[in-house]
Structure 1
């Protein structure tokens, strides 16, 4: 059966970037940027994005394009006879399912908040009332389940229409709308009274604040953000490589995707920092920033209902672009592995992902007594930890070793595939770096992630 192809290069870039552009760009990036000295941190982050994330993305694209398969079968096609690299295909598939087990819930929150904001449910509420709204939502399993199911149905519906007519067509429109909405929100944020202070904080490097936080900690935070922002290691990028032709080099395409992902992360800061400084609030991290701090800011703004609605539709698009991209990977895995039709893969996975996502929904209410990573944690934290701190870094090491060593696909095969077509070539002089040094850096990110997560426990052992 002839493999489907993207209808345009723009479609490939927007969809690949859409999969990489997630909620981490919007709520994690501004928070850690603020914590580690604003623009000083951004410079270090961009450096690590170039030397850490980009090479692994090129390798994923290369494995996908050379094999013309999803992660479920790509290693089977390229590995030396008798080797076991293909076992990572099953780990990668599991990683995609695990990611969707909690990401669909967060995407549901975004859509729910868009409707709440548009209908004026936050008007007249003080900070305590806005915080209570978020608490009420997470306490109601039926509410959260409804929005999660709606997200799964909508996104599977897009994938059911096929690669060109569904995934490419809808994601292109969604991504272009997302970029347009961001530009409108930036224009509003930077014209707020007192916004200049926020822009100064964000755009002027403050090396003093960076040293305050500690240089090693800042460097690790930049490495972690650069690594996790691109969703590399579980084949989420490889699938899009399998859908493109050989007329362009993969280094150039990966650079375009990375630039777009970075543009969204940086632009999110231009929205959030001026708004927070204008209204005298500290940019918090995670859910509290998006679901508690920002609704309070919109409440205090003239025309806040409109700006808040625009913000949450932008957030919904950011979440949906990732969900559609990962769903497409999951469907392709089922088609490659078991020869299913797209229709059968959609129907089976529609029900499977809804069922698999329910524990995350219930983790905030009926199963809230289950705290797998210590007090205050829930099932979402556990699922996120398994994917972000384990499967992504370890999967990236698999891709690195597979593409650079003679025990895998090998350096010559990888470079030959990456350099096919017009555009910038993969720099040959980096061979020693990507073969020996980069896997060690990724391993360091992996162990540091564990140390940070269990630091209080580790310190208590030595007291």
Structure 2
């Protein structure tokens, strides 16, 4: 049977961008931009994105488009009989680990959209009170389970209809609404009293902040964000390469995807910082930024339930787009490896993801005494550490070596596929950069990740 393809290029770009656009764009990028020097940090980040993110993205897309297979069979298709196929046995679990905790966080977004949007958050609460609301959610496993089951079943139901009738038909309008909501919220920020102060903190060049935080730390944060923002290394982008047309070069498509991803990250800061400075709320990062800081802001804002509901709807769309994209990868892998129907693959994987997510969920209540990484770490932190600090760096290294080593697919084959079509071309002179520089950068990020967790 012929492989499905996207009905339009817009569908591919929005869905691939939806896979890359996630919670890190909103709860990490704006914070570290303000912390590490505003516009200076953004310029450094864009350089790393162009030098690291785009090349790595073209590698994953090229393997997908050339093989017309998921991670489950792509290495066998391109290099029959080689041992490269063995890499999938540790890369594929990365998708399951990611989805097992990302599904839980997506459930949190659903909960907050309903709670804030319905006006069930008191007016003029403090950050401590907002923190108590979040802690109450974490202490309620049944509530979290209901929200998680809803978003997981919904996302898998979309995938059950296939690429065109399910994934593309739902994700394309959802992504357009995501951009529309974000632009609307950013425009709303212009009317807030703290807009100029917030934007100055966020985007004005600030050498003092950079020096205070440390230039090396700023470089490391920019490099890490550029690497992790696209979610490469587990084949979640590769699967959409296998569905795309060959009309445009992969360099051009990768540039467009990273541009959309970065636009969301930058606009998120324009929503967050003017609001924080308008209501004298200290911005933070991570879940605290979304569920504590911004909930405090919305409760103090006129028509806060409306603005908060819209914001969490945007966050829900961002998270759901990633769920649908990675679920499609998991489903395609299962279909190819085990030769089962799409519906059977959906049912099996839906149950598997929910079961794998239970330890993360119970890590905040029933299993809250367990701290796998020491300190106050949770089971979710451990899942994230296994994925972000191990599987993703090793996965991207695998792709780099696969296209640069003669025993792999080879750089010439990569260039032939990547440069096919209209648009940006990767020069042959990039070989030494791919072969020697990219692995060193990935290795540095791997070491930094371990130092960050165990070197405190």
Q: Report the TM range for the smaller structure's normalisation.
A: over 0.9
The equivalent of 2:247 in structure 1 is 247
Q: Is the 8 A contact 1:66 1:242 kept in 2?
A: yes
Q: Which runs of 5+ in 1 are unaligned?
A: 457-463
Instruction: Give me the TM-score of the superposition, normalised by structure 1.
Output: 0.97
The equivalent of 2:3 in structure 1 is 3
Name the CA distance, whole Å, in 2 between partners of 1:281 and 1:47: 32
Offset of 1:80 from its aligned partner? 5.6
The equivalent of 2:303 in structure 1 is 303
Offset of 1:280 from its aligned partner? 1.5
The equivalent of 1:411 in structure 2 is 411
The equivalent of 1:353 in structure 2 is 353
Extract structure 1 runs of 4+ deviating beyond 2 A. none
Q: Is the 8 A contact 2:156 2:346 kept in 1?
A: yes
The equivalent of 2:86 in structure 1 is 87
The equivalent of 1:396 in structure 2 is 396
Name the CA distance, whole Å, in 1 between partners of 2:423 and 2:187: 34
The equivalent of 1:339 in structure 2 is 339
The equivalent of 1:112 in structure 2 is 111
Name the CA distance, whole Å, in 2 between partners of 1:420 and 1:155: 33
The equivalent of 1:48 in structure 2 is 48
The equivalent of 1:203 in structure 2 is 203
User: After superposition, what is the alpha-carbon deviation per residue over 1:161-183, rounded to whole angstroms, capped at 9, x for unaligned?
Assistant: 11001100110011000000001
Name the CA distance, whole Å, in 2 between partners of 1:326 and 1:28: 21
Q: Indicate whether 1:168 and 2:162 are aligned.
A: no
SS at match of 1:433: helix
Offset of 1:2 from its aligned partner? 1.1
Q: Please give the root-mean-square deviation of Cα atoms over the aligned residues, in Å.
A: 1.0
Greater displacement, 397-406 / 120-129: 120-129
Name the CA distance, whole Å, in 2 between partners of 1:360 and 1:351: 15
Offset of 1:200 from its aligned partner? 1.1
Q: Is the 8 A contact 1:34 1:283 kept in 2?
A: no
Q: Is the 8 A contact 2:34 2:203 kept in 1?
A: no
User: After superposition, what is the alpha-carbon deviation per residue over 1:40-83, rounded to whole angstroms, capped at 9, x for unaligned?
Assistant: 111111110110111010000000011111011111111263x3
Name the CA distance, whole Å, in 1 between partners of 2:28 and 2:166: 30
User: After superposition, what is the alpha-carbon deviation per residue over 1:102-157, rounded to whole angstroms, capped at 9, x for unaligned?
Assistant: 00000000011000012111133622332211111000110111101111100001
Name the CA distance, whole Å, in 2 between partners of 1:399 and 1:70: 14
Instruction: Give me the TM-score of the superposition, normalised by structure 2.
Output: 0.98
Q: Is the 8 A contact 2:33 2:203 kept in 1?
A: no
Name the CA distance, whole Å, in 2 between partners of 1:23 and 1:194: 24
Q: Is the 8 A contact 2:124 2:300 kept in 1?
A: no
The equivalent of 1:103 in structure 2 is 102
Offset of 1:445 from its aligned partner? 0.6
Q: Indicate whether 1:58 and 2:61 are aligned.
A: no
The equivalent of 1:313 in structure 2 is 313
The equivalent of 2:293 in structure 1 is 293
Q: Which runs of 5+ in 2 are unaligned?
A: none
Name the CA distance, whole Å, in 2 between partners of 1:261 and 1:88: 28
Name the CA distance, whole Å, in 2 between partners of 1:33 and 1:178: 22
The equivalent of 1:422 in structure 2 is 422
The equivalent of 1:451 in structure 2 is 451
Offset of 1:227 from its aligned partner? 0.2
SS at match of 1:5: coil
User: After superposition, what is the alpha-carbon deviation per residue over 1:363-416, rounded to whole angstroms, capped at 9, x for unaligned?
Assistant: 110011110111111110000111111111111011001011101000111100
SS at match of 2:373: coil
Q: Is the 8 A contact 1:418 1:425 kept in 2?
A: yes
Name the CA distance, whole Å, in 2 between partners of 1:17 and 1:7: 16
Q: Indicate whether 1:233 and 2:233 are aligned.
A: yes
Name the CA distance, whole Å, in 2 between partners of 1:424 and 1:202: 31
Q: Is the 8 A contact 2:123 2:300 kept in 1?
A: no
The equivalent of 1:261 in structure 2 is 261
Offset of 1:8 from its aligned partner? 0.4
The equivalent of 1:459 in structure 2 is none
SS at match of 2:73: helix
The equivalent of 1:460 in structure 2 is none
Name the CA distance, whole Å, in 2 between partners of 1:400 and 1:143: 43
Offset of 1:190 from its aligned partner? 2.3
The equivalent of 1:123 in structure 2 is 122
